[in-house]
Structures are given as structure tokens and as C-alpha cells.
Structure 1
């Protein structure tokens, strides 16, 4: 039962990381500021690395990793594309959406870390990724405030 729960927790994070990787890549493609585009590409790359590490943990546990994003994330990206067709997406809006995505990722990591029966090595692995996601969340919040002040 513990192994099944562990795999389920990792699958939950895997989808979150995949959504983040795709969301950051999409945002980077639409950023007008080259420095912002670079930051978002780096975040996308980080999430791809985290995703691969989680995939490997799932495989090591003898399970098959999920291969699709969450429906909610797909719908969110579709909404962004519709909104973009109607009005141009500025860097402030991009950062706001990325921060919202990070808020969701932080909540999902918090959910997983609240599991009491998680093996210690897995907890350390997840906490390492969680720290990076929280740092990104704060960096985006700071950047959002800076961009808002410039408007």
C-alpha cells in the first residue's frame, strides 16, 4: 500500500511538472522582454529536469509514469490562447499567469509533503524540488510587482 501511495504522489507531481514545463515554454515564446523570455525558458528547463527525475523515481518503483498533462492545465493554456487571439499578452500578464501557475505548483507540493507515511529519502527529494518551486514563486511575485510599478 505504501508503494502505491508513493507512486500516486509522484504521478501527481509529474503532471504538475509537465504542466509547468509547457506553461513556462509557452510564456517564454510570447514574452517581449528578452531577459524575461530567458528566465521563463530556464524555468521550463528546470521543470523538464524535475519531471525527468520524478519519472525515474516512478520507474524505479516499478510503475509506468503518466504521459499526459492535467485537463485543467490544458484548459488553462487553451484559455490563454483564446485571450491572446483577442488581445495582445503583455509581459505583466505573462508573469501574472506564471505566478498563478507557481501558486498551484506550491499547493500541490504542499499536498504531497503533508503525507505522513512518505519514505525519508523521497521526502528529501521532493523537498529539494519544492524549495526551488517556492523560490521561483517568490521571484515571479517580485517581478510582477516591479512590472506593475512600471506600468
Structure 2
């Protein structure tokens, strides 16, 4: 079983991941042209904000102060995204592909935490959130693949 401090650290990590996703999806909604993508990214940003808010009381309960912003790694990722965008410009496909990369990280962070022996109250919350994060990941991944297929079909 994780100590209270380790549990608090794990919750803090996931809350940071969720805040990263909230910001990333919000930025993605601003960058895309297609109305359906703007709506989807806006909804996913709101979902991540809500999930992060769910973790904050638990994080405090286990002795940690929730992060206000995202993680350092995500800040670096966003910085790289901004540099790449300045060089290449971004179309909707590029934004969706970046969102999928962010979702891969989020899903992986949840899977890492779920490998630990968590207190039952924490595990139930994390498992429920993981199901939502995984569903979002799969939705973005499937969208990226369908956009790739459409691009390929347009070439022929």
C-alpha cells in the first residue's frame, strides 16, 4: 500500500496531467477550423477541468497541495508545439495529431498510477476517471486515423 505521501503525490501528478489536458484541449479548440473539432475539444477541456476538480479534495486529504497549473513536462511539450507551429503552421489534422500525443501521455500516467496499491477510496475515483480518459484518448485516436484515411483517399 502506498503511504499517504505517495498517494498524495500520485494524485497531484494526475491532477497536473488533467490540467495539462484542459489547457491543451482549450488551445486546440482555438486552433482548429472545423466546428465539430472546436466543439469536441471544448467539451474535452471542460471534462478535464471537472476531473481535476474531483481530485483536488482527495489530494488535500492525502497531504498534498494541488497544482494550479500543469506539469513541467507538459509545459515543455506545449513549448515544442508552439515552435513547431511557427515553422509549419497547423492544420486541423496536425492539431488532432498533437492532441492524440497528449492523450497518450495522460492515459499512460493513469495506467502507471493504477499499477500501484492505492487506498480503496482513491482507486475507485482513479478507475472511474481512467475510463473517461481512455474513452477520450480512443475518440481522438480514431478521429486522427479517419483524417489520415481521408487524406490518403484524397491523394488517389
Tell me which interval the TM-score lies in, with the shorter structure as reference length.
over 0.9
SS in 2 for 1:5: helix
Structure 1 residue 62: Cα displacement: 4.1
**If the length of structure 1 is used for normalisation, what is the TM-score?**
0.93
Q: State how far apart, in whole Å, the 2-side matches of 1:134 and 1:147 are.
A: 20
SS in 1 for 2:85: helix
- Please, which moves more after superposition, 63-72 or 105-114? 63-72
Q: State how far apart, in whole Å, the 1-side matches of 2:40 and 2:67 are.
A: 27
- Please, which moves more after superposition, 85-94 or 10-19? 85-94
> 2:61: which partner in 1?
60
Unpaired segments ≥5 residues, structure 1: none
Is 1:22 the equivalent of 2:17? no
Cα deviation, 1:28-48, whole Å, max 9, x if unaligned, reads: 100110100110011000000
Q: State how far apart, in whole Å, the 2-side matches of 1:64 and 1:134 are.
A: 26
> 1:150: which partner in 2?
150
Aligned residues: 150
Structure 1 residue 80: Cα displacement: 1.5
Equivalent residues in 2 for 1:2-151, closer than 5 Å: 2-116=3-117, 118-151=118-151
Q: State how far apart, in whole Å, the 2-side matches of 1:87 and 1:68 are.
A: 27
Given that 2:8 and 2:60 are in contact with CA atoms closer than 8 Å, whether structure 1 keeps it comes out as no
Structure 1 residue 72: Cα displacement: 1.6
SS in 2 for 1:11: helix
CA RMSD of aligned residues (A): 1.3
Q: State how far apart, in whole Å, the 2-side matches of 1:145 and 1:52 are.
A: 31
**If the length of structure 2 is used for normalisation, what is the TM-score?**
0.90
Q: State how far apart, in whole Å, the 1-side matches of 2:62 and 2:127 are.
A: 19
SS in 1 for 2:78: helix
Cα deviation, 1:42-76, whole Å, max 9, x if unaligned, reads: 10000000111111211233432122322221111
